[in-house]
Amino acid sequence: MRDSLYDDVTARVTLPPAVRTNGTVNGTAVDTQGSRNFFRVAMLLVTAGVITDGTQTVQLQDSDDGTTNWQNFAGATQGSIPVLGTPQGNATYRLAIDGIPRRYLRANVTVAGATTGGAVSAVIVLASGSGRAVT
């Protein structure tokens, strides 16, 4: 089998696309040991649609068990996710992490000052797994 992104990389939705207004939404836990692999690197991709007002702050979080003790990711990263407001709409942002210290990852978004808010979604891309092929 030849190397390809299709066989070596997988993506999992953590925050489904939705228009979000004031409050905090925790994304779905993503298991970095799924698909018969132990993934070693990950990237958070955040897509912002139209944002009419307010701010949306997206954080990458990690946990040992996927249900408790979620903490903002404190490891080394490349890239950044800005606080999303009207000027940051209709764009995709990425945050890469090299080395996954805790098994589960998720995105979390906190929206403030919004009347109608804006559309945001997040996907976690997993790569450099211990096995092949990704399913």
CATH number given to 5-127: 2.60.120.380
3 pLDDT more than 90 = no
Which is nearest to 46 in space by CA: 32, 34, 60, 28? Answer: 60
1 pLDDT more than 60 = no
* Separation CA 80–CA 18 (nearest Å): 21
In terms of pLDDT, which residue wins out, 122 or 130?
122
What ranges do the domains of the chain cover?
5-127
71 pLDDT more than 90 = yes
Prediction pTM value? 0.91
